[in-house]
Amino acid sequence: MTWCVFRLGGARARAGLRIGDSVLDLTAARAPYSDVLNMSSLNAFMALGRVASHEVLDWARNVPADHPAMIPAADVTLEMPVTVGDYTDFYASIYHATNVGSMFRPDNPLLPNYKYVPIAYHGRASSIVPSGTPVRRPCGQLQDGDAPPRYAPSRLLDYELELGAFIGAGNRLGEPVPIAEAEQHIFGLCLVNDWSARDIQRWEYQPLGPFLAKNFATSISRWIVPLETLEPFRVPAFTRPEGDPQPLPYLRSEDDQRRGAFDITVEAWIETEAMRSRGIEPFLVSRGNVRDMYWTFAQMMTHHACGGCNLRPGDLIASGTVSGAERESAGCLLERTWRGAQPLELPSGETRRFLEDGDEVILRGYCERETVSRVDFGECRGRVLPARCGMKSA
């Protein structure tokens, strides 16, 4: 079962649960908390915490498939499920961090704080958009060699294949969240594409990190998968190599180490304008797994709040690019093409180092196991539109 906010015809948007090929209209079915679920975002329901989520999910398991409130999923229009107040992007894949570091710091690819601190930066919530929303190529300052910078469209536009966690019940300002309680504050997971302009970022990121390179758009999937649905796919946290430090005590619990990660396959596909016009199927660029992240979502949540930061219902924390040990599991073009030195050969005869106008990126995620029903995260799509860099005086 996965959460959504949907619209049927001209009716007002409201909360639903996808069950198989149907969406259960929770308001029409008179689910628990129907008054809170009869809203155009899930925020108010999320604020009630995991106890309320458990109750509704348990109730929904007993709703018959032929209930009149069951609507074919193909008949509904999905809306943005959450009003996102704040957004934080982590850097939780050691494979991604090592790859990127080796490109720019070959002698010192991984900085010493990485194995102690879940590294993150604060993103821009206002530019988070739902799957299917076009993304315009950003403009910013580009700098080559010793030449002065110039204002121009990004030439090195990239995607980042990530997983996001929505905060449910938050914490009060000044009150940390113990790691043993962290997952009680996580409502569910979604796919995230944190688009990145690599050339803008290279010039602007020192000393404070990315700014225009990231704030132009972040895409999310329209389904939210509750942690309850993912229970059968829990796996141990990433096994740290011998010699790596163990997490500091506030970031470590035996339960999180034993079952705090998830066996979720994530994929990135590309479809170019030429491929669409010729009827060529999208091209699989990479396939990775969320279990390869160095830090768990509970550790990210705990670290985020450990200094007293208050997280609120609907806040989004993202994993950062999910990459694995092999090139085929790299979660962005920067890694997959190794800064463009090894371009992708597409079935249309085209090549790609970075994204071009008209390209559509399609992220997919799923869990599957022989004895358990498949869990589908749906898709997170975004098509690149040409830049608009014209400046008009007031």
CB 57 within 8 A of CB 228: yes
Say how many C-beta atoms besides its own lie within 10 A of residue 305's C-beta.
23
Q: Which SS3 state, helix, strand or coil, does residue 4 take?
A: strand
Residue type, 344: L
For this structure, is 67 an active site residue?
no
Q: With CA atoms as reference, report the closest residue to 27 among 50, 62, 1, 56.
A: 56
With H, G, I as helix, E, B as strand and everything else as coil, classify residue 302: helix
Q: Could you tell me how many residues make up the chain?
A: 394
Residues 268 and 265: their CA atoms lie apart, in Å, by: 10
Helix (H) or strand (E) holding 381: strand 372-385
Helix (H, G, I), strand (E, B) or coil at 18: strand
Query: Which conformational region is residue 243 in: left (phi greater than 0), alpha (psi within -120 to 50 degrees), or beta?
Result: left
Q: Which of 54, 96, 303, 304 is catalytic?
A: 96
Contact yes or no for 321/193 (Cβ under 8 A):
no
The residue among 264, 227, 225, 292 whose CA lies nearest residue 369 is 264
The contacts of residue 373 (CB under 8 Å, 6+ apart) are none
Query: Of 20, 16, 21, 19, which Cα lies nearest the Cα of 4?
Result: 16
Catalytic residues: 96
